[in-house]
Chains A and B, each alone.
Chain A
Amino acid sequence: MTQVPPPFDPELAAALELIKDVVHPGLTLDEIDAVRQGPGIEMLAQLDLTAGGFFEVEDRTVPGPENAPEISLLICRPAAPSTAGPRPVVYHVHGGGLIIGNNRVGVDVPLAWAQALDAVVVSVEYRLAPEHPYPAQIEDVYAGLLWTAEHAEELGADPERIVVAGASAGGGLSAALALLTRDRKGPRLIGQVLMCPMLDDRNDTPSTYQMAGLGVWDRTANETGWTALLGEERGGPGVSPYAAPARAQDLTGLPPAFLDVGSAETFRDETVAYASRIWQAGGVAELHVWPGGFHGFDGFAPQATLSQSARAAHLDWLRRLLAQ
C-alpha cells in the first residue's frame, strides 16, 4: 500500500499555509478542551445569520430524546413571504469530529443554498462526546428532525421536502439519520447531502494511512473523535450503523444521496465506498471527488476555484432534487 499522498491543489496548499498554526491535523483526546475554547472550528461559524436581512433568525428550544435534555434548533426562515407555498427545509447537522462545534458551525453553506432556493434552514445542536457517548448525538439529531417535521407548517415549510445535510461529523450523522428514519419509519427525508462525511469508526482505509500528519483531520484526530464517541467499542465488532454508517449491512431504501470529498483527505476512501455501496444496493447517489482537496477545504478556503466548483455542485444537485 503506497504511503505517498496525492498532492494538494495549489490554492488549497497555500491556504493550508495560512491556517496551519491554528488547525493541525493530529488532534488528541487531551487537546479537546483547548480546541473547544480556542478559535479553531468556531471560525467556521457564520457571523451574520440573517445574511443581510434575508433570513429571520430564531433559536428554539424543543424536546430532546426520551429521558434526555431539551435541544436547541437554529431556525433561519426567509423574511419575505413565500410565493410558491410551503418551503423546502434543509435540516443541517454541524461538523466538528463529534467532539466540538455548535449549530452555527458551517451553517453558511446551507444558508447560501436556502437563499438561492428559497428554503428554510434548521440547524440542530447535539450533545458532544466524550461527555456524551453514542447514541446521544444521533438521538438529538433525530429528535430535532421529529420536531421540525411536526412543526413544519408553523415554519412555513413542507414536511414532505426535508433534505438533511452536513459536513464531516455532520455528514456522518446525516447518513445515520437517513438510516434511522428508514428503520424507525420516521419523517421521510427526500435527500441527504453528505459532505466529506465521517462514516467509518474502523479508521483503516488506505486514505487514512496515506494522509497521516497532513491536512486538518488525520488518522490520529479521527481515532480521537471515534474513541470519544464509542470508547473501547471503537473498531470492534458491535458498532451500530447509527454510530458509523459504514457499518450498515443494508443500504437499500435510502433517500437520494449527494456525496463529495477531497482526494487528499482521510475520508476519501470511506466516502467513495459508501457511494459505491448505495449504487450496489440499487440506490441513487451522486459522488464528487475533488482532486487535491483537504478535509473541509471549501469551508476553510471558499474563494478557491475548487471550492467554488464544489459549492456549485452542491447547489446544482439540490436544484435538481427540489425540482422533482
Chain B
Amino acid sequence: MAHDGRMKELAGRLTALDPDAGAAVRVIAYFDRLAETRAGLEALVRGAAVLAGCPARLVDAGRRVRVRVEPDGARKDTEAPPDADWPCAALEPGGAPALWLERAGSEPSVVDAVILERAAGAIRLVLDRTRGRAPASPADDPALVETLLDATVPEPARLHAARRLGIDPADTAVGIRALAPGDGRPRILPARAGGRPADAELPAGRLGVGPAVPVLDLPDSWAAARTALRFTADGSPHDPGPRVVYADDLGGIALLADLVAPGAEPPPDVRALEAAAGAMPGLLATLHAVAATPSQRAAAAEINVHHSTLQDRLTQAEHLLGWPLRTPQGRLRLQLALTMRHLARS
C-alpha cells in the first residue's frame, strides 16, 4: 500500500489527474489497457473525459461518429460546434482535429496532451476495426499507395498492389492520377478517360495533381504532382494563387521548378515583390488579380475596388517594383515573379 498523497487523488476514484510525470505514465497505462481489451469508442472518450476532468468529444464526420462524454462518465452528445480554443487532436498525422477536451482559457497541460494523443491513437484503431476506413476509396491504404508510386519497386509488386487497391491494370480506359497534398500522405485517384475529378473528390488544402497514367507510370505522375504542388498557394491574402494545380496545365512553366530551389535565396524579382508587399498592404492580392484575370477591369472586380483605385495602386506598385505592370512584357515578368515566389518557398 502506497501512502502517497498524490496517489490518494488517483486511487479513491478515477478522478482528474494532477499534471505531473507520474500521471502521464498512468494515462498511458490506462489507454493501453483499454486498447488491449478492445474497448469501444465511448469507453475511450469517457477515459479522456474522466482523466482530464472535463467533457471530451469525438467528431468524425466522414464516419458519422459523434460521441461526447462528461467527466462524471455520462454520455451527452451535442450538435454544437467545438470551440477553437479547446485542446484537440487529429486521428492521424496531418488530419483534421477529431478529439477535443472541452477546456477553455488555459494552455493545455502535458497530461492533456498525453490524454489526447493516447486516446486519439486508440480511437483510430477502433474506427479502422469497426467502421472501416472512410471514405472507402483505394487511395486510403498508405502502404499500397506508396508501393505504386515508387519506381524502385519491381513491376509485379506494383501490379499486385494495384489489384489490392481494386484497380485493374489491364483496363486501359482507366488512368490513375497521383495526388500530392501539401499536408498529408500521397493519394491516388482513378480517372475515367482522362477526365478531371470534381472538387469534392480532392483532399482539402494545397494539392498538386499528376497526369492520368497507366498504373506502372504512376511514379512519373507522382513526380509531376509534387512539382505541381510547388506551384500552389493557400489562397490567403499573404499567399494568393491557385490551391490546386494540375501538372497537365503547367506546360513549359514547369521548367521553372528546376531553376528555383526551394528555400534557397530567391531571385531578385521575388525579393522585390517581398519588399513591396511589406511596404504596401494588400499588394500581393492586387498583383495576383492583375496577373490572373484577362483585363484590368476584371482585376478590379476580383478584388472589389474601383477601376481608378486599381490604377493608383498599380502606379504605386510599379514604383516599388521598378518595372511596368501594364505592358505585356511587364505582366509576364510579374507572372514569373509571383510563380517563382511560390517555388522559392521551402
Contacts and interface: CB of A to CB of B under 8 A. Distances in A.
A292 to B, nearest CB: 9
B72 A14 contact: no
Nearest to B9: A43
A38 B73 contact: no
A70 to B, nearest CB: 29
Nearest to A8: B37
Interface string B2-18: 11110110111110000
B254 interface: no
Given A300-B13, A305-B42, A21 B7 contact: yes
* Interface size, A (range): 35 or more
A11 interface: yes
A11 B29 contact: no
Contacts of A38: 1-3
Contact of B46 (A8, A9, A11, A13): A11
A144 to B, nearest CB: 26
B114 to A, nearest CB: 14
Given A7-B37, A35-B1, A301 B46 contact: no
Interface string A4-17: 00011111011111
Contacts, number: 108
A297 to B, nearest CB: 11
A31 interface: yes
B346 to A, nearest CB: 44
Given A17-B29, A39-B8, A10 B73 contact: no
A34 B14 contact: no
A304 B50 CA distance: 9
Given A301-B14, A302-B73, A304-B73, A22 B38 contact: no
A17 B46 contact: no
B30 A308 contact: no
Contacts of B50: 303
* Interface size, B (range): 20 to 34
Contacts of B73: 302-305, 307-308
A22 B13 CA distance: 11
A24 interface: yes
Contacts of A11: 34, 39, 43, 46-47
B160 interface: no
A23 interface: yes
A29 to B, nearest CB: 14
B246 interface: no
B30 A17 contact: yes
B100 interface: no
A39 B43 CA distance: 27
B14 A15 contact: yes
B11 A39 contact: yes
B103 interface: no
Given A8-B37, A303-B14, A308-B73, A22 B1 contact: yes
A303 B72 contact: yes
Contacts of A302: 13-14, 72-73
B74 interface: yes
A285 to B, nearest CB: 28
Interface in B23-50: 26, 29-34, 36-40, 42-43, 46-47, 49-50
A273 interface: no
A99 to B, nearest CB: 14
A89 B3 CA distance: 36
Contacts of B1: 22-24, 31, 34-35, 38-40
Nearest to B5: A39
A102 to B, nearest CB: 14
B26 A14 contact: no
A17 B32 CA distance: 10
Contacts of B34: 10-11, 13-14
A204 to B, nearest CB: 27
A44 interface: yes
Given A31-B1, A303-B72, A303-B73, A21 B39 contact: no
A307 B50 CA distance: 14
A22 B7 CA distance: 7
Contact of A18 (B3, B4, B14, B74): B14
A178 to B, nearest CB: 29
Given A10-B33, A18-B29, A40-B1, 15 more contacts: A11-B39, A14-B43, A16-B33, A17-B26, A35-B1, A38-B2, A39-B8, A39-B11, A44-B12, A44-B13, A303-B46, A303-B71, A304-B14, A304-B46, A305-B43
Interface of A: 7-11, 13-19, 21-24, 31, 34-35, 37-40, 42-44, 299-305, 307-308
**CB-based closest 3 A-B pairs:** A43-B12, A303-B73, A10-B39
27 contacts: A8-B37, A10-B37, A10-B43, A11-B43, A11-B47, A14-B30, A14-B47, A17-B26, A17-B30, A21-B7, A22-B7, A24-B1, A35-B1, A37-B3, A38-B3, A42-B12, A43-B8, A44-B12, A300-B14, A303-B14, A303-B49, A303-B73, A304-B43, A304-B73, A305-B46, A307-B73, A308-B73
